[in-house]
């Protein structure tokens, strides 16, 4: 009940992004995940998302309260339901390890993914975000223009400015993103110093 009250109180605006307290009555560390055959790229992404407090808080809601309580609704209900069920199982079960359903049902995320075939973790994350935030026209209307839940947590805008040296005119452009690629200096060591480390 206390958890649900917190969700209702934060369901408007960007308050979700600031919710960094770990949900009450859950395991501090989720259970391990079994490799279903070249599924380590799926497991690594799911483990990271499971331990994202705002996402975990929303996904731990009872099914009948989850969609109306989340800003923008669920987006793609099927994919979000699978992700929420996974997070709920990982954080509340007493099992030592289990195989995530998303590892065997990758086609729900993208038809470009094939179970049993090794893929890139970052690529899977982008496919997952895209699938989880996809909305039909009816869903967008029902959400009242609010972004789907996954976008309300991870969406951002990057602004780039180009200034003309001749006239001083500035051209400003903004691009939406759900993730950012960062360059890592190959010479930067694991301890933050230079030399000897692998990026």
Q: What is the pLDDT of residue 1?
A: 30
**pLDDT at residue 14, as a whole number:** 46
Residue 49 pLDDT: 93
CA–chain centroid gap for 116, Å, is 23
Q: Which residues of the chain have pLDDT under 50?
A: 1-15, 64-66, 68-69, 71-75, 194-199
Would you say how long the chain is, in residues? 199
What is the reported pLDDT for 46? 94
pLDDT at 20: 66
Residue 178 to residue 166: CA distance in whole angstroms: 35
Specify the pLDDT at position 43.
92
**d(C-alpha 3, C-alpha 106), whole Å:** 31
Nearest to 100 by CA among 121, 114, 85: 85
Q: What 3-state DSSP class applies to 7? A: helix
Report H helices in the chain: 2-9, 40-50, 53-59, 63-69, 77-92, 101-104, 121-133, 137-142, 149-154
What is the per-residue pLDDT across 5-35, written as a single tens digit (0 to 9) for each?
333 333 444 445 556 677 667 777 888 898 8
pLDDT at 181: 76
């Amino acid at each position: 009940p206390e958890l649900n009250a917190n969700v209702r109180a934060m369901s408007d605006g960007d308050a979700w992004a600031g919710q960094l307290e770990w949900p009450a009555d859950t395991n501090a560390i989720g259970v391990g995940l079994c490799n279903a055959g070249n599924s380590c790229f799926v497991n690594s992404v799911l483990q990271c998302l499971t331990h994202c407090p705002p996402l975990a808080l929303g996904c731990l809601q009872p099914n009948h309260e989850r969609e109306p309580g989340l800003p923008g609704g669920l987006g793609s209900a099927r994919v979000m339901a699978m992700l929420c069920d996974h997070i709920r199982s990982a954080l509340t079960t007493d099992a030592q390890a289990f195989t995530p359903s998303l590892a065997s049902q990758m086609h729900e995320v993208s038809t470009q993914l094939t179970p049993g075939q090794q893929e890139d973790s970052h690529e899977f994350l982008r496919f997952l975000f895209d699938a989880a935030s996809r909305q039909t026209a009816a869903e967008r209307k029902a959400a009242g223009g609010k972004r789907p839940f996954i976008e309300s947590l991870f969406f951002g805008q990057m602004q780039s400015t180009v200034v003309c040296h001749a006239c001083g005119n500035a051209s400003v452009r903004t691009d939406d993103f759900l993730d950012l690629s960062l360059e890592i200096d190959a010479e930067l060591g694991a301890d933050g110093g230079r030399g000897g480390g692998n990026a």
